[in-house]
Amino acid sequence: MTVATQDLALVANTIRGLAIDAIEKANSGHPGLPMGMADVAAVLWTEFLRWSPQEPQWAGRDRFVLSGGHGSMLIYSLLHLAGFPVAVDDLKQFRQLHSKTPGHPEFGETIGVETTTGPLGQGFANAVGMAIAAQMEAARFQNPLLLSRVFVTVGDGDLMEGISSEAAALAGHLQLGNLVCLFDDNGITIEGHTDLATSEHIGKRFEAAGWSVQHCDGHDVDQVRKALACATAATNRPQLICCKTTIGKGSPNKANTHDVHGAPLGKDEVAATKQALGLPAQDFFVAAEAKRTFAAAAARNETQRQRWHAEMQGWEAKAPDLAKAWRAFRARSVPADLVEQLAAAAGAEPAATRALSGNVLQKAAELVPGLVSGSADLDPSTKTRLKKGGSFTAADRTGRTLHYGIREHAMGAIMNGITLHSGFLAAGSTFLVFADYMRTPIRLAALMKLPGAFVFTHDSLMVGEDGPTHQPVEHLATLRAIPNVHVFRPADGAETGAAWAHALSRHDGPVVLALTRQNLDKLPHAAGWTAREALRGGYVLVEVAGAKATLVATGAEVSLAVAAAALLAQQGVPTRVVSMPCLELFLQQDASYRQQVLGKAAVFTLEMGRPEWWCQLTGRLDRCIGQSTFGASAPAKVVAEHFGFSAKNVADRVVRAL
C-alpha cells in the first residue's frame, strides 16, 4: 500500500501539531524528536507496520519500540491516529497524574506501548530481545506466521550509551533479519551539536557488527519508503536505516537547535510553527485526510489480521499437538506441584546453591517450556545452561540457551525484550558483584511488572581469593531497595527449588536469585517441613523453649546461625533460628505470621552484606550482623574469620548486644 506524498505530509504535520500542543499544554516535554521523526513514522505506520486496535496483542503484529522514550508524543499521536484507545482528551492530559500519556511510554499503562522506555539504549536492547524471541517462537513451533518483525527508533543518545554497542554486536552475530532500526540522525543532543562529544561513524560501527546499513533523507518519504522496502525484504541480517533528519522540523526559529530537544516551543513559536506547516491555529487539530489515511492503513491491517488467523487455524488443524503446546506456552502455564518437583530436583546433598540451582534449572526446563536461559559468558560458574535444547544461534533458532558474551547490561535488557514478546520467561546470570551493570533493566522489569529470573552467583565475601573487586557487599541491599523486586537468597536445595518455583510462577515482577560459590551444610529442618514454607519468605528453622534471642539469617549464613545458636545454648542463651530466603515475601505475610516467626525474644540478623536494611526487623543496628566495608583477598575461610563471620564471633555479638 503506497500513500500519496501529500497525504503523508499531512499525517506528519498532524503528528507535529499534536505533539507541540500536548507539550505546550503540559508546559513540559520533548517536541524535537516527534517533529523530526514524523515523516519516517508516517511512512512506517501507514505502509509497513502491522498493527491492530481491534486486537492489540495480536500475535502476528509487528512490534514498534520508541527507544528514545522522551519523544513519547510521537507514539501517542500515532496510537491516536491508528484508532487505539488514546483519545484527544488523553493527549490533552499528557504528563498528568493517572493519564494514559505519561512523560515516557509505560508498558501496561497505554495500550499499544510494547515496552517502557526512557533510560536511553534500553528500548533498543529490548527490541533485540523481541527479535530473538520471535525467531525462537517461530522455529520452536515450526510456524513462520509467528516470526514477527521488530521496528525500533533510536537517537544519538541511545547509540552513545554503551548498551547499544553490546546489543547491536549480539544482534549482528545472531543475524536477526527480522529487526529494523531507524536512526534519527539529527546531530543534536541536549548540550548542542553532537560534535561536542563524538565523531563516530554510526553506519560503519553497525556494519562492523554485521548489520546491513542504508542512508536516507528522513524527510523525503520516497527515500524512506525505498529504504524500508529494502530492509523488510532482507532476512539474513539486522537492518539499520540512518535517517538524516532535522530536530524540531517545522519550527522556524528552533529547528536544528538543542533548544527544541526538551522544552515547549512557547506560545509564539507554536503559532509560527503551525503557520509554517500549514496547520490551523486551533489546538489538537487532526486533519480529516490524516484520519482517512490511517483508516485505510487500518483496513489493510485488518485484512492481514483476518488472513493470519485463518492461516493459523489451518496450522492448528494440521499440527494439533504443536498448537496445544503453543497455547500453553503463551499462557505461561506451570504445574500445580512445581515447588515440590523443583525442590526434589535440587537434591538433598550439601552443595553450593549455584550447583543446586543448576540441578533445579534442568527440571524447570522440562516443566516450563517458555523458560530460556543464558549467561554473560559465565555458565561454567553460574550453572545456567540448559543441557537439553541446545544453544540459540544464527544457524539454530530452536536453542534455549543464549550466549550473551561479556555483555551484562545488554543481557538484562534483552531478557526483558524476550519476556515482553510472548510466552517466554528469560533467565540470565552473572556474578552478584556485576549486578550493577544490570541495575537499569532490573529496575525496568520491576516497573513493568515483568517476570524474569536474574541469577547472581558468588554472592558474598566467600568468593575469597578474587578479593574485594569480586566480593559483593552492598549489592543485596541495593537490589532489595528496588520496588517490586523479590530477592531470594536460598540456604539449601529445597529453598533453591522454592526460589525457582517463585521465579517461574510470579507474573507481576522479577525475581533475583543470589547463590553461593561455596558448599553449604545441611539444614536441620523439622519433620514435616516442606519447601512451600520458604515461599512465605521466612520460617522458623530451629525452635527452642524460653528463647532469649532469635537469629534471622539468609543463604550461607543460615548454617552459621545454627552453629552460633548451639554455642549460645551452651552459654545459657537459648536461641531460635529463622531462615529468611526472601525478605520481600516475608513482609507481605500477615502480621500474626510475621510475629510467630520472629517470636518475642530479641531479634538479630546475620548476612554478609550491608546490615542497615535489616533494622526494620531488629529496630537496632547493633543487632544487625553484617559487612559494611569492602572485603579482602584471601582464602574464603580466612576472609570470613577475619571479618568476624564465625560461630564464636556471632555468638559473642549476640551476648554483648543483649
Spatial separation of the C-alpha atoms in residues 632 and 642, rounded to whole Å: 9
The full 3-state SS of 472-494, as one line of letters, equals CCCHHHHHHCCCCCEEECCCCHH
Spatial separation of the C-alpha atoms in residues 364 and 242, rounded to whole Å: 43
* Extended strands (E) in 18-100: 63-66
Element (H, E) at 52: none
- Sign of the C-alpha dihedral, residues 76, 77, 80, 83? negative
Q: All 3 cell numbers of residue 109?
A: 499503562
Amino acid at 634: A
Determine contact, residues 81/87, Cβ cutoff 8 Å. no
106 included as an active-site residue: no
Spatial separation of the C-alpha atoms in residues 641 and 647, rounded to whole Å: 10
277 to 17, 35, 248: CA distances (angstroms): 9, 11, 12
Spatial separation of the C-alpha atoms in residues 273 and 249, rounded to whole Å: 9
Look-up: residue for cell 514477527?
Answer: 148
Name 321's Cβ contacts closer than 8 Å, sequence gap at least 6.
none
Spatial separation of the C-alpha atoms in residues 350 and 523, rounded to whole Å: 9
Burial of 98 (0-12, 13-18, 19+ CB in 10 A): exposed
Spatial separation of the C-alpha atoms in residues 286 and 160, rounded to whole Å: 35
What is the β-pairing status of strands 425-431 and 371-375? Answer: parallel
From the list 91, 82, 89, the residue with the least C-alpha distance to 20 is 91
Q: All 3 cell numbers of residue 632?
A: 579482602
Spatial separation of the C-alpha atoms in residues 32 and 250, rounded to whole Å: 10
How many CA atoms lie less than 13 Å away from 366 in the CB half-sphere?
Answer: 9
- C-alpha torsion 265→267→268→273, nearest 10: 50
Spatial separation of the C-alpha atoms in residues 148 and 447, rounded to whole Å: 25
Q: All 3 cell numbers of residue 581?
A: 530466603
Q: Which long-range contacts (CB under 8 A, 24 or more apart) does 218-222 make?
A: 218/36, 218/37, 218/39, 218/40, 218/184, 218/185, 218/243, 218/244, 218/245, 219/39, 219/245, 219/246, 219/249, 220/39, 221/5, 221/8, 221/9, 221/39, 221/42, 221/43, 222/5
Q: All 3 cell numbers of residue 475?
A: 549489592
Q: All 3 cell numbers of residue 294?
A: 490511517
Q: In sequence order, what are the beta bridge partners of 403? A: 375
Q: Which of 161, 408, 533, 557 is catalytic?
A: 408
From the list 162, 156, 176, the residue with the least C-alpha distance to 67 is 156
Which active-site residues does the annotation give?
408
